[in-house]
Structure 1
Amino acid sequence: MHEMSLMESVVEIACETAAQHGATGIRVIRLDVGRLSHVDPDALMFCYDAIRRGSLAEDAALEINRIAGEGWCLDCEKTVPLEERFGACPECGRSRVQMTAGDELKIRDLEVI
């Protein structure tokens, strides 16, 4: 389960950032997780409950924002929705689509105390 190591990194980054800014705790961690990122939000939540204990994020809520897949079709020259990695363009059916969104995993923001 790679979500455990991902969540360990998220909590570590959030706590270090909060501490650098003089916070004594974290209220909310907001994550952006792409639908095409191969990261399971339920697994992230499960791992978060175990990892946050004893940290500045111990009482913090975790909010996960799912980002839709999107790409640029080189043939249509349009931004198109993507339902899968390396999927065909829904407009023209060709496969020359570069993914532009949907594979991210990033901390959107924090609310600190």
Structure 2
Amino acid sequence: MHEMALCEGIIEIVEEEARKRAFSRVRAVCLEIGALSHVAPEAMTFCFEAVAASTIARGARLEIIETPGTAWCMGCSTSVEIKQRYEPCPACGSYQLQVTGGEEMRVRELEVD
């Protein structure tokens, strides 16, 4: 389960920000997770609780914003939304799609004291 390692990385980011900005508690962590990122939001929630338990983020809420996958269709020269890789263009049916978004996972914001 790579979500555990991802959550450990998130906690590292949170703790680094706490050192830089001198906050003592994290109330919420807001993540953006792309539809094509191969990250399961449910697993992230479970792993975050376990990893955060002995850190500055203990008891923090994890808010997840799922962002759509997007691609540029070379067949019809259109930007389209896709749910997964290797599916056809919803506009023209072409398989010549270049992914342009939805692969990312990032900490969007922190609610802190």
User: Which band: TM-score by shorter chain?
Assistant: over 0.9
Q: Name the amino acid aligned to 2:102.
A: G
Give the conservation status (yes or no) of the 8 Å contact 2:35–2:66: yes
Distance 1:79 1:14 in 2: 34
SS in 1 for 2:28: strand
d(CA) in 2 for partners of 1:44 and 1:89?
30
Q: Is the 8 A contact 2:25 2:56 kept in 1?
A: yes
Give identity over the alignment, percent: 40
* Segments ≥4 residues shifted beyond 2 Å: none
- Partner residue, 1:54: 54
SS of residue in 2 equivalent to 1:39: coil
* Equivalent AA in structure 2 for residue 92 of structure 1: C
| Separation in structure 1 between the aligned mates of residue 84 and residue 59 of structure 2, nearest angstrom | 35
CA RMSD of aligned residues (A): 1.1
What's the counterpart of residue 7 of structure 2?
A: 7
**Secondary structure at the counterpart of residue 7 of structure 1:** helix
Where structure 1 has 5 or more consecutive residues not aligned to the other structure, the ranges are none
- Aligned AA for 2:94? R
- The one-letter amino acid paired with 2:66 is R
Find the aligned partners of 2:100 and 2:81 in 1 and give their Cα distance.
Answer: 10
What is the CA-CA distance between 1:35 and the residue it aligns to?
1.4
TM-score (norm 1): 0.93
SS in 2 for 1:17: helix
Number of equivalenced pairs? 113
Deviations 1:12-35 (A, max 9, x none): 111211221011111110000111
Offset of residue 107 of structure 1: 0.5
Aligned-partner Cα distance in 1 for 2:46–2:76: 41
Alignment match, 2:90: 90
Structure 2 counterpart of 1:111, which letter?
E
